[in-house]
Amino acid sequence: MYSLKIFIVTVVCFFYSLPMVFAQNEKANLGEPLEESLAYIFELFNEQENADEEDNDDKEASQKVAIVLDQEKLTRLIDFTLASDQSKTKDYVPSKRGDASGMYMSKEFKISFSKMSSYLFNLQIPGEIMAPSMVHFTKADKNNTFVKSGIDIFANATKKAKSYKYSSYESITPDFFSGGYYSYNNEILIITVPYKNSFAVIRASHQDKKSDIGRKGIILDDKKWIYFYSGLKGLTKGIISWANTYMYSGASVQIVVFDAQKKVVKKGIFKWLDAGWSGLNVVKADHIRAGTTRYFDTLAAIFENPKLPKIETFIKYMQNVKNLPVAEKEKLLKEYSLAYEKMIPQYSMLEKDDFKEILENGKYTDTMTAEDKDANLILEMFKQVLGKESLITRFSFLP
Which spans in 265-310 are helix H?
A: 285-303
**Do 46 and 79 fall into the same domain?**
yes
> Is residue 285 one of the residues assigned to a domain?
yes
pLDDT at residue number 49: 56
Report whether 295 contacts 133 (CB < 8 A).
Answer: yes
> Is residue 394 one of the residues assigned to a domain?
no
> Is residue 170 one of the residues assigned to a domain?
yes
Helix (H, G, I), strand (E, B) or coil at 111: coil
Q: How many CB atoms lie within 10 A of CB 271?
A: 23
Report DSSP letters for 122-166, one per residue.
-TTS-HHHH-TTTEEEEEE-TTSHHHHHT--TTTTTTTS-EEEEE
Q: How many CB atoms lie within 10 A of CB 27?
A: 7
**Do 300 and 353 fall into the same domain?**
no
Bridge-based pairing state of the strands 198-207 and 180-181: unpaired
> Is residue 4 one of the residues assigned to a domain?
no
Q: How far apart are CA 33 and CA 36, in angstroms?
A: 5
**Do 280 and 369 fall into the same domain?**
no
**Do 349 and 259 fall into the same domain?**
no
**Do 157 and 238 fall into the same domain?**
yes
pLDDT at residue number 67: 57
Report whether 99 contacts 274 (CB < 8 A).
Answer: yes
> Is residue 118 one of the residues assigned to a domain?
yes
Domain count, the chain: 2
Domain end, chosen from 304, 331, 353, is at 304
Q: Which residues are within 8 A (CB) of 279 and not within 5 positions of it... i.e. 6 or more apart?
A: 248
- Among candidates 63, 69, 39, 68, which has minimal Cα distance to 50? 63
**Do 337 and 226 fall into the same domain?**
no
**Do 79 and 217 fall into the same domain?**
yes
**Do 282 and 329 fall into the same domain?**
no
Q: Which residues are within 8 A (CB) of 213 and not within 5 positions of it... i.e. 6 or more apart?
A: 233, 244, 245, 246
CATH code for position 142: 3.30.530.20
**Do 275 and 323 fall into the same domain?**
no
Q: How many CB atoms lie within 10 A of CB 180?
A: 26
**Do 214 and 330 fall into the same domain?**
no
Which spans in the chain are helix H?
A: 2-23, 32-54, 71-83, 113-120, 127-130, 145-149, 285-303, 311-322, 326-342, 353-359, 370-386
> Is residue 61 one of the residues assigned to a domain?
yes
* Sign of the CA dihedral with 12 first, then 15, 18, and 20 last: negative
Order the strands of the 180-181 sheet from edge to edge: 180-181, 215-221, 226-233
- Among candidates 183, 230, 189, which has minimal Cα distance to 210? 183
Domain end, chosen from 277, 304, 331, is at 304
pLDDT at residue number 9: 35
**Do 37 and 174 fall into the same domain?**
yes
pLDDT at residue number 48: 61
pLDDT tens for the 399 residues of the chain, in order: 433 333 233 333 333 433 433 334 478 899 999 999 999 999 999 876 544 444 444 444 444 434 589 999 999 999 999 999 999 888 999 999 999 989 999 999 999 999 999 999 999 999 999 999 999 999 998 888 888 787 889 998 999 999 999 999 999 999 988 999 999 999 999 999 999 999 999 999 999 899 999 999 999 999 999 999 999 999 998 777 788 999 999 999 999 999 999 999 999 999 999 999 999 998 999 999 999 999 999 999 999 999 999 999 999 999 999 999 999 999 999 999 999 999 999 999 999 889 999 999 999 999 899 999 999 999 999 999 999 999 999 999 999
Q: Which residues are within 8 A (CB) of 11 and not within 5 positions of it... i.e. 6 or more apart?
A: none
> Is residue 391 one of the residues assigned to a domain?
no
The pTM for the full model equals: 0.88
Domain end, chosen from 274, 304, 334, is at 304
Q: How many CB atoms lie within 10 A of CB 322?
A: 12
Instruction: Determine the structural domain holding residue 345 and report its residue range.
Output: 317-386
Q: How far apart are CA 103 and CA 288, in angstroms?
A: 7
**Do 270 and 375 fall into the same domain?**
no
> Is residue 290 one of the residues assigned to a domain?
yes
Question: How far, in whole angstroms, is CA 94 from its chain's centroid?
Answer: 20
Q: How far apart are CA 192 and CA 394, in angstroms?
A: 38
Report whether 205 contacts 219 (CB < 8 A).
Answer: no
